[in-house]
Structure 1
Amino acid sequence: MELRSTIRTAWWHKATVYQVYPRSFADSNGDGVGDLPGITSKLEYLKALGIELIWLSPIYASPMDDNGYDISDYQAVAPEFGTLADFDELLAQARLRNIGVILDLVVNHTSDEHPWFVQSRASKQSPFRDYYIWRKPADDGGPPNNLTSSFGGSAWTLDETTGEYYLHLFSRRQPDLNWENPNVRGAIYQMMNWWLERGIAGFRMDVIDYIGKQVDQAIVTDGPHLHAYLHEMNRATFGSRDVLTVGETWSATPGSALLYSGRDREELSMIFQFEHVTQQWDEIYGKWRSRPFDLIKLKSVLSKWQYALADDGWNALFWGNHDLPRAVSKYGDVKGYPVESAKMLATVLHLLKGTPFIYQGEEIGMTNAPFTKIEQYRDIETLNMHRLHLEAGLSPEDFIKGANENGRDNARTPMQWTSGANAGFTTGIPWIEVNKNYATINAEAAMSDEHSIWNHYRKLISLRKAYPVIIYGRFQSYLDQHPDVLAYTRTLDTQRLTVLSNFSARTITFDLPHELLATGRCLISNYDPVDALKTTMSLRPYEAFAVLAEVAGRDGTKS
């Protein structure tokens, strides 16, 4: 089928991205920590799945206060992950398999051990003083204002050397860079070009909506210069290169999305937005106390973003990442229908318009970690919030329940490769406990089972490459108020793909809108194939399928 000339294509429209959390992916030397040679050893696994891009969470030199998101040297590899030579080997071996490597760009803040900050805090007269955000104490000697850290407590820490406070919107060991300083921006762009010239395929940009902050006006995200900085970055680094850039933007709305990714904006390829995540959080305790799952609200968010970027911009599609709970634990049914619900979630996501991102282990149905004690957690956010929420009155039991549902360590337990010791992740002692269900949930078993979740993902990835309607078809939602069924179509010229899914653990019978009635070909299903879309449909627990049918074209004919 010929694509209409109005569609602007890009190589990454067809690609599926796989996120690797290096610390937990594969350990090659038995020290209990995943590393770059470990990732290289698993490239054939990723190639077999059909992956064309991998995004690495930070691999740079770091004290690891926040597992690498506190960087002390942007152009060095953390010793626990390997060497720069190991990275170059990973890049070369990935290229041989037609796999690109995307790096995590963390430039809202650095580590307090970065040489810039070491010199910045040494003296008010340091040429690096203005690389960070310093303010005098308030009249009472306290913080300059009441900005709070995402990890709890004040966003300001007093540095006794100079008697001033520095800003850190995350850990106190992650001081925020001052993007108003052109020297900071220039140094960052130089570093980005250094990596691009090394051959990477792009960047995922950590909390990039923070870089335009105006702290004296208490503006943290979406500051007045944010898009000017991104436009400048584009022109100074990746704009002339055919690479993928995706920004992490917790504050983004459908109204602002095109400012980042509009085709004529010269900013980013796409953004991650988190409205489908945050709508499930409690108003008082946030993610540490979840609201009941509401499919109608989830459908509303997914549809809103599909419509907002229908004709310009591009969606980044994901259920999970290193900061979020496991998809099947959050949206599926790990006790009753773990395989069916995991396949259903994959079907729903991968057939939407946008580029899908798979988080490591999602493709085999890895689940949340069943930790029972705070001592089992390693995440700085979880440990900080545990203290603060207990002080605020939340019971220890309720906090652990919330952490089990939404804590970041759910995504960070080691990748489950085999049913052997430590799930085949390491021959040593893992840095964080392996999920005990690795004996039954592991990649080795999944790859050998033609009906596995892994093979379902593999088929979805291959379908994406084969059918333009999956990439460029226009989205339309149906049954928006149904509490259990998610339904949508993707239409391109005379082809229409209809996706039906059941988000419940019971059989659901419902009437299909008349305009969807058709007989076609079932491209994928997690039960028996369904070819006919009838007036009355029944979906078994967590059933999902997609039917491709010919429909009337723009001139009223069928092809």
Structure 2
Amino acid sequence: MRELWYKNAVFYSLDVETFMDSNGDGIGDFRGLTHCLDYLTALGVNCLWLLPFYPSPNRDNGYDVMDYYNVDPRLGTLGDFVEFMHAAHERGIRVLIDLVVNHTSEQHPWFQEARSNKDSKYRDYYIWADEAPPDEEVKTIFPDVESNMWHYDEKAGAYYLHRFYREQPDLNSANPEVREEILKIMGFWLELGVSGFRIDAAPYLLEPIGVDADLEELKHFMTEMQEFMASRRTDAVLLAEANVSADELSPYFGNGDRMHLLFNFLLNQYKFIAFARQDQEPLLEVLKLLPEIPYNCQWLNFVRHHDELTLDCIEDEQREEIFRAFAPEENMQIYGRGVRRRLPPMVGGDRRQLEMIYSLSFCLPGAPLLRYGEEIGMGDDLSLEGRDSVRTPMQWSDSPNGGFSSAPAEKLPHPVIDDDKYGYHKINVTVQQRDPNSLLNWMERLIRTRRQCPELGAGQYTVLQTDEPAVFAHRFDWGDRAVLLMHNLANKPCSVTLKSETNEHLTDLFSDRSYEPINGHTKTIPLEAFGYRWFRVNQ
């Protein structure tokens, strides 16, 4: 690998169909996304993660794929994708795409052949049972919608496994031919210039149900994926979605020869316990739980993404604490394990708390990820079903449909938010670009400062002891460079005394307001309610 570019990249996640519509049909497309690349460049992001854009019946937001080698016609053509990739590369923006290979759509030609012909090789691409297996302890991913993960198919005369919706039959990853197909799919998109893949539902790919599988062989497949990818593009990376307990994380990294990045689900869940309690202790606890990772690997930190804020790796009482603080109504919760809201409504629109949370997330060990619309403080629409509440179109201006599309509103994939507090008339890019004090301009400064501090992605971090339980302080050291960071999780100001013997001089880099400079011999540091300060450490 030529460089570990992902250690300090700023990632940005978006769904093409809800970002920008270029032709007025109501659906976002690649031409629209290409027109928005200058905006993303100015924001400071340098790697895009695109949600699935393959042809799909759209039962599950595009994650039910029916053709791995094409673009959904609603979103454009392969030619449009190539033009988008060229424009992104010209601006120094890398692109990761979703690799959805735990399952396919029931309309995929592989499954259609499998259900029609028992002797077809594609029969073994899926997992079948002649009789309904007994109830399993393993639940479906969507327990409120699918109560059973085996579905009888009349044409096949057998039951097939689906851990997501019944329209998404699980692939049999224990079959070497399926694994070969996965590598072929990767090779196709690498030839078109992508910088890697986000592996959807990685644990289910490695732990098939209903077949005899060599688990060590499947874990080794992650190594094969990295080796194959490196043979085609040496700087490409694998990002895994693996929401598992702390003791199950290390195998995904291996010795640095498997996944390059993992979403830090565990850290995110403990972060929200800390926010709910206004206490740093959960952060101290989770940082001790996380395993050491190889030098060439990285965590990917986030606040919210395209699914719910999942809370299934913490205790029931901890989950209830978060519900009480941020999602007290049943309609704000989903699957009994998560929150289906964006962050601004969760904190009642409190700008101070918003800034503190994003500031902290951008300087914890790992690289940061933003979900589209977070930079302007978009809200949610709880009238929509399930996860769709956080998947509304991007709000570009106060023109009809928020500037997302010129089509009639009924043709949009989801309605644009149009309420008094978070509606597109008030919350949009155009308004905030004109306001120097807007969240958008603050976010640009945050990203710019983060990119000027490579210590945060490549350095060694140390948690610092303080005399305030609500203040989390830590520092990163990298060669002869160091930064020190402090965040007040509480809604009251304080002065913090660092329990350190150092007399290093601290220079403010980024903070919630202008503070008096810190004297080289002073260890007591003031912080506003929900305040934060980033310091350059000068020897």
Q: Same fold (TM over 0.5)?
A: yes
2:127, 2:211 within 8 Å by CA — same for their partners in 1?
A: no
Question: How far apart are residue 89 of structure 1 and its match?
Answer: 1.2
> Which deviations, in whole Å up to 9, do the C-alpha atoms of 1:49-97 show, x marking residues without a partner?
1121111000000000001000000011112211111111111111111
Of 300-309 and 113-122, the range deviating more from structure 2: 300-309
Match 2:356 to one of 344, 347, 354:
344
Partners in 2 of 1:487 and 1:356 — Cα distance? 18
Distance 1:10 1:279, change over 3 A: closer
Partners in 2 of 1:38 and 1:240 — Cα distance? 29
Cross-structure match for 1:244: 237
Cross-structure match for 2:99: 105
Match 2:264 to one of 250, 268, 273:
273
Cross-structure match for 1:129: 123
Match 2:524 to one of 536, 543, 548:
536
Read off the aligned partner of 2:114 and give its amino acid letter. Answer: S
1:519, 1:531 within 8 Å by CA — same for their partners in 2?
A: no
Of 419-428 and 296-305, the range deviating more from structure 2: 296-305
| 2:347 is the counterpart of 1:333 | yes
Distance 1:421 1:206, change over 3 A: same
2:253, 2:294 within 8 Å by CA — same for their partners in 1?
A: no
Cross-structure match for 1:377: 384
Partners in 1 of 2:277 and 2:18 — Cα distance? 29
Cross-structure match for 1:427: 406
Give the secondary-structure state (helix, strand or coil) at the position aligned to 1:61. Answer: coil
Of 196-205 and 422-431, the range deviating more from structure 2: 422-431
Give the secondary-structure state (helix, strand or coil) at the position aligned to 2:74. Answer: coil
Question: How far apart are residue 245 of structure 1 and its match?
Answer: 1.6
Distance 1:164 1:480, change over 3 A: farther
Question: How far apart are residue 410 of structure 1 and its match?
Answer: 3.7
TM-score, length-scaled by structure 1: 0.81
Distance 1:291 1:158, change over 3 A: farther
Q: How does 1:194-209 map to 2 (within 5 A)?
A: 194-209=188-203
Match 2:110 to one of 104, 112, 116:
116
| 2:22 is the counterpart of 1:44 | no
Give the secondary-structure state (helix, strand or coil) at the position aligned to 1:74. Answer: coil
Give the secondary-structure state (helix, strand or coil) at the position aligned to 1:322. Answer: coil
Give the secondary-structure state (helix, strand or coil) at the position aligned to 1:308. Answer: coil
Q: What runs of 5+ residues in structure 2 fail to find an aligned partner?
A: 310-340
Partners in 2 of 1:278 and 1:475 — Cα distance? 20
> Which deviations, in whole Å up to 9, do the C-alpha atoms of 1:467-504 show, x marking residues without a partner?
33233221112348955322211122443311111223
Cross-structure match for 1:487: 473
Partners in 2 of 1:304 and 1:427 — Cα distance? 51
Of 230-239 and 272-281, the range deviating more from structure 2: 272-281
Give the secondary-structure state (helix, strand or coil) at the position aligned to 1:75. Answer: coil
Match 1:170 to one of 159, 164, 169:
164
Cross-structure match for 2:459: 473
1:147, 1:154 within 8 Å by CA — same for their partners in 2?
A: no
Q: Percent identity?
A: 32
Distance 1:483 1:443, change over 3 A: farther
Partners in 2 of 1:187 and 1:131 — Cα distance? 10
Of 344-353 and 113-122, the range deviating more from structure 2: 344-353
Q: Give the total of aligned pairs.
A: 494
> Which deviations, in whole Å up to 9, do the C-alpha atoms of 1:509-535 show, x marking residues without a partner?
443323466532211112114531744
Of 291-300 and 532-541, the range deviating more from structure 2: 291-300
Distance 1:444 1:199, change over 3 A: same
Distance 1:265 1:307, change over 3 A: closer
1:25, 1:38 within 8 Å by CA — same for their partners in 2?
A: yes
Of 230-239 and 80-89, the range deviating more from structure 2: 230-239
Partners in 2 of 1:470 and 1:207 — Cα distance? 28
Question: How far apart are residue 125 of structure 1 and its match?
Answer: 2.0
Partners in 2 of 1:298 and 1:322 — Cα distance? 25
Cross-structure match for 1:502: 488
| 2:298 is the counterpart of 1:314 | yes
Partners in 2 of 1:246 and 1:480 — Cα distance? 35
Cross-structure match for 2:392: 413
Partners in 1 of 2:465 and 2:30 — Cα distance? 46
Partners in 2 of 1:511 and 1:316 — Cα distance? 31
1:23, 1:34 within 8 Å by CA — same for their partners in 2?
A: yes
1:77, 1:83 within 8 Å by CA — same for their partners in 2?
A: yes
Cross-structure match for 1:32: 26
Distance 1:358 1:433, change over 3 A: same
Match 2:368 to one of 344, 356, 367:
356
2:126, 2:172 within 8 Å by CA — same for their partners in 1?
A: yes
Read off the aligned partner of 1:434 and give its amino acid letter. Answer: V
Match 2:430 to one of 435, 444, 459:
444
Distance 1:537 1:281, change over 3 A: closer
2:467, 2:497 within 8 Å by CA — same for their partners in 1?
A: no
Partners in 2 of 1:281 and 1:51 — Cα distance? 25
Read off the aligned partner of 1:421 and give its amino acid letter. Answer: P
Give the secondary-structure state (helix, strand or coil) at the position aligned to 1:458. Answer: helix
Read off the aligned partner of 1:50 and give its amino acid letter. Answer: G
Read off the aligned partner of 2:397 and give its amino acid letter. Answer: T
> Which deviations, in whole Å up to 9, do the C-alpha atoms of 1:264-300 show, x marking residues without a partner?
4421211113114455999xxxxxxx99556445413
> Which deviations, in whole Å up to 9, do the C-alpha atoms of 1:291-315 show, x marking residues without a partner?
9556445413552367733856321
Give the secondary-structure state (helix, strand or coil) at the position aligned to 2:474. Answer: strand
Question: How far apart are residue 342 of structure 1 and its match?
Answer: 2.4
Partners in 2 of 1:218 and 1:434 — Cα distance? 47
Read off the aligned partner of 1:202 and give its amino acid letter. Answer: G
Give the secondary-structure state (helix, strand or coil) at the position aligned to 1:77. Answer: coil
Partners in 2 of 1:20 and 1:516 — Cα distance? 43
Partners in 2 of 1:306 and 1:420 — Cα distance? 46
2:256, 2:294 within 8 Å by CA — same for their partners in 1?
A: no
Partners in 2 of 1:64 and 1:327 — Cα distance? 22
> Which deviations, in whole Å up to 9, do the C-alpha atoms of 1:221-272 show, x marking residues without a partner?
x94443211112222334552112211001252x44343235x442121111
Read off the aligned partner of 1:353 and give its amino acid letter. Answer: P
